[in-house]
Amino acid sequence: MFWKKKNNNNIFLGSDLTIANYLSDGLFVFDRDDRLVLVNLQAEEFFQIRKEKILGKSILGLSRFPNFGPLVSLLTGETKEFFRRELQPRENFILEVTSTLMIIDGEKSGTLVILHNVSREKISEKMKSEFVTLAAHQLRTPTSAVKWSLQILLDGDLGELNEEQRKILQKIYKTNDKVIRLVKDLLNLAQIEEGKFLSKIALSDIEDIIQLVINANRNLIKEKKLNFEFKKPKDKLPKVMLDVEKMKIAIENIFDNALRYTFSGGNVSISLEHNNKKEIEVKIQDTGMGIPRDQQAKVFSKFFRTTNVMKVDTEGTGLGLYIAKNIIEAHGGRIWFESEKDKGSIFYFTIPVKESFAEFITGGFY
Amino acid sequence: MAKKILIIEDDKFLRELIGQKLLKEGYDIVEAVDGEKGIKSIKDEKPDLVLLDLVLPGMDGFEVLTKIKEDSKIAQIPVIILSNLGQKDDIEKGLKMGAVDYLIKAHFTPGEIIDKIKVVLK
């Protein structure tokens, strides 16, 4: 057994301190009274402090020391046990922090805090998404040129076109528009992964956002002669803390699928429910192509499109649901679906009802 | 009298495409390949509207917009930003700086851009 109980209250790592010092992760151990009893070499290095200065201090007492602010906030938050939460004690230095309670003989004997350095991975991720952003913007210039020249040809500005010429030009136009949409999705994706993620969080009305998305798609609904219904709940829904722009993208992506993959004359509906106080549930239902059972597991992965959809519509990018899932989960919500091939699909997602910024923050957004 | 549109765009092909379309629709056009020449053209030609790209050699589009708004003689000329930079922050920044609209080139056809121009010039 690793831990020795020394007098009633303190646990104590004897000569096994050597092992702790050889760990590549940083280690803080707090005793039952939340006083710091162990600091390994790596932790000293991460926080740029000698252990003598901080041993014996309470968690709150640590906040006086430089670089400890964010860690103290994390440790005094809602949950005492958490896994791989990100922390940035100083510039260009990111740690993943895991905290577990140590239970000996059925009682809490202390807290183990493990610090894992992910700075290199984070910098690499950042460089990757900066590259994607740059490349995506660069791709817009030639695709604009193609779009504009094709439109000029199709408008007949450079001479009348025969039917064959018109048809092929329209195909090229559509293909190019697909590239443009892909670029747009890649840009959204890069933004999401860069963690420039939830910004401008404000108390908002989810109903209004949904209505905006519906309005933007009115033409498509009409063109495809779809029967659409927006079922609102009888009572007014509470406002919730949302990143409106991002939530709009998430809803747009799910709704877009419902519209595009349902044939003419089919039914699409959006309904809202506020069953328990803690969440709002949004349901987007269609009588469209559905998702074959054997492909359902991959639905939320990047660039995935089902085979039955690809046969009928070559234009989607396969990123819509991946992006939507990221956005909804970042809000603390869940997303799932039920679907049957050729019958239709129902996509559900929840949004936790958090009414204050403080609740939003301690729920795990950062 | 025909309305005069100034196009500040460094990409020759795009400049020609939008210029050609504008001429066809009966507008007069003036072209500038960078920000400095653009500002000079505004002062000399007093266009009815400016189509402004953001990514330009030398002075960028935001700087050009700032300079336009600083000069009382030309500040009231409407500016439509026509750019392929399109993150929300850029759009908000442009509109806050006084542009009347912000269009992403890849998302609009020349015809649609002209519809937007018509609305502004009404």
Chain A residues touching B85 at Cβ < 8 A: 137
Identify which of B82, B90, B80 has the alpha carbon closest to the alpha carbon of residue B107.
Answer: B82
Contact A283/A348 with Cβ under 8 angstroms?
A: yes
If asked whether residues A288 and A230 sit together in one domain, one would say yes
pLDDT surpassing 80 at residue A195: no
pLDDT surpassing 50 at residue A8: no
B104 lies within 8 A of chain A by CB? yes
Contact B49/B78 with Cβ under 8 angstroms?
A: yes
Backbone torsion region of residue A10, taken as left when φ is above 0, otherwise alpha when ψ lies between -120 and 50, otherwise beta? beta
Find, in chain B, the residue whose alpha carbon is nearest to that of A184. B86
Range of the domain at B21: 4-121
Contact A208/A215 with Cβ under 8 angstroms?
A: no
If asked whether residues A336 and A236 sit together in one domain, one would say yes
- Which residues have CB under 8 Å from A266's CB, separation 6+? A224, A226, A227, A286, A287, A288, A344
In DSSP notation, A208-257 reads HHHHHHHHHTHHHHHHTT-EEEEE--SSPPPPEEEEHHHHHHHHHHHHHH
If asked whether residues A353 and A238 sit together in one domain, one would say yes
Q: What is the DSSP letter of A64?
A: G
If asked whether residues A86 and A170 sit together in one domain, one would say no
Cβ <8 Å between A152 and B21: yes
Contact A272/A237 with Cβ under 8 angstroms?
A: yes
| Domain CATH code at residue A348 | 3.30.565.10
Mutate to test the interface with A, among B12, B81, B84, B115 (most CBs of A within 10 A): B84
3-state secondary structure A76-130: CCCCCCEEEEEEEEECCEEEEEEEEEEEECCEEEEEEEEEEECHHHHHHHHHHHH
Chain B residues touching A148 at Cβ < 8 A: 14, 17-18, 21, 105, 109-110
Contact A202/A244 with Cβ under 8 angstroms?
A: yes
Average the pLDDT over A221-237 and give the result. Answer: 90
According to DSSP H, which parts of A12-83 are helical?
Answer: 17-22, 41-47, 51-54, 69-75
A275: three-class secondary structure by DSSP? coil
Question: In whole angstroms, what is the distance from residue A204 CA to residue A214 CA?
Answer: 17
Chain B residues touching A191 at Cβ < 8 A: 87
Contact A136/A182 with Cβ under 8 angstroms?
A: no
| Domain CATH code at residue B66 | 3.40.50.2300
If asked whether residues A35 and A140 sit together in one domain, one would say no
Chain A residues touching B11 at Cβ < 8 A: 141, 145
Question: In whole angstroms, what is the distance from residue A156 CA to residue A167 CA?
Answer: 13
Residues in chain A: 366
pLDDT given at position A1:
39
Amino acid at A167: K
pLDDT surpassing 70 at residue A65: yes
If asked whether residues A304 and A350 sit together in one domain, one would say yes
Identify which of A218, A229, A225 has the alpha carbon closest to the alpha carbon of residue A264.
Answer: A225
Q: Where does the pLDDT of residue A365 fall: very low under 50, low under 70, confident under 90, or very high at 90 and above?
A: very low
If asked whether residues A57 and A128 sit together in one domain, one would say no
Query: Which of residues A3 and A92 earns the better pLDDT score?
Result: A92
pLDDT digits 0-9 by tens, A87-136: 888 777 889 999 999 888 888 889 999 999 998 887 887 788 778 778 88
Q: Where does the pLDDT of residue A85 fall: very low under 50, low under 70, confident under 90, or very high at 90 and above?
A: confident
If asked whether residues A111 and A128 sit together in one domain, one would say no
Backbone torsion region of residue A56, taken as left when φ is above 0, otherwise alpha when ψ lies between -120 and 50, otherwise beta? left
B101 lies within 8 A of chain A by CB? no
Amino acid at A136: A
pLDDT given at position A38:
93
| Domain count for chain B | 1
Most confident of A120-134, A257-271, B87-101: A257-271
| Domain count for chain A | 3
In whole numbers, what is the pLDDT of chain A averaged over residues? 85
pLDDT surpassing 80 at residue A79: no
Query: Which of residues A201 and A143 earns the better pLDDT score?
Result: A143
Domain stops at, among A95, A117, A139? A117
If asked whether residues A184 and A61 sit together in one domain, one would say no
Question: In whole angstroms, what is the distance from residue A104 CA to residue A220 CA?
Answer: 63
In whole numbers, what is the pLDDT of chain B averaged over residues? 93
Nearest chain B CA: its distance from A155 CA (Å) = 9
pLDDT surpassing 80 at residue A362: no
Average the pLDDT over A156-173 and give the result. Answer: 95
If asked whether residues A154 and A297 sit together in one domain, one would say no
pLDDT given at position A364:
43
Handedness of CA A304, A310, A316, A317 (dihedral sign): positive
Find, in chain A, the residue whose alpha carbon is nearest to that of B113. A148
If asked whether residues A75 and A135 sit together in one domain, one would say no
Q: Where does the pLDDT of residue A356 fall: very low under 50, low under 70, confident under 90, or very high at 90 and above?
A: low
pLDDT given at position A9:
45
In DSSP notation, chain B reads ---EEEEE-S-HHHHHHHHHHHHHTT-EEEEESSHHHHHHHHHHH--SEEEE-SS-SSS-HHHHHHHHHH-TTTTTS-EEEEES---HHHHHHHHHTT-SEEEEGGG--HHHHHHHHHHHH-
Cβ <8 Å between A145 and B20: no
Mutate to test the interface with A, among B109, B112, B114, B115 (most CBs of A within 10 A): B109
Closest in B87, B104, B111 to A155, CB measured: B111
Q: Could you tell me what percent of chain A has a pLDDT over 70?
A: 89
pLDDT given at position A366:
36
pLDDT given at position A127:
81
Average the pLDDT over A244-263 and give the result. Answer: 92
pTM, 2 dp: 0.60
If asked whether residues A276 and A329 sit together in one domain, one would say yes
State the burial class of residue A272 (Cβ atoms within 10 Å of its Cβ: 0-12, 13-18, 19+).
middle
pLDDT given at position A7:
47
- Which residues have CB under 8 Å from A26's CB, separation 6+? A40, A42, A43, A45, A46, A47, A95, A114, A115, A116, A117
Cβ <8 Å between B109 and A187: no
Range of the domain at A138: 120-196
CB atoms within 10 A of CB A30: 23
Q: What is the DSSP letter of A194?
A: T
pLDDT given at position A357:
52
Residues forming a β-bridge with A39: A28
Across the A:B interface, residue pairs with CB atoms under 8 Å apart total: 51
Contact B38/B8 with Cβ under 8 angstroms?
A: yes
Residues forming a β-bridge with B49: B5
Find, in chain B, the residue whose alpha carbon is nearest to that of A179. B106
A137 lies within 8 A of chain B by CB? yes
pLDDT given at position A14:
56
Chain B residues touching A245 at Cβ < 8 A: 88
Q: Which of residues 9-28 of B touch A (CB under 8 A)?
A: 11, 13-14, 17-18, 20-21, 24
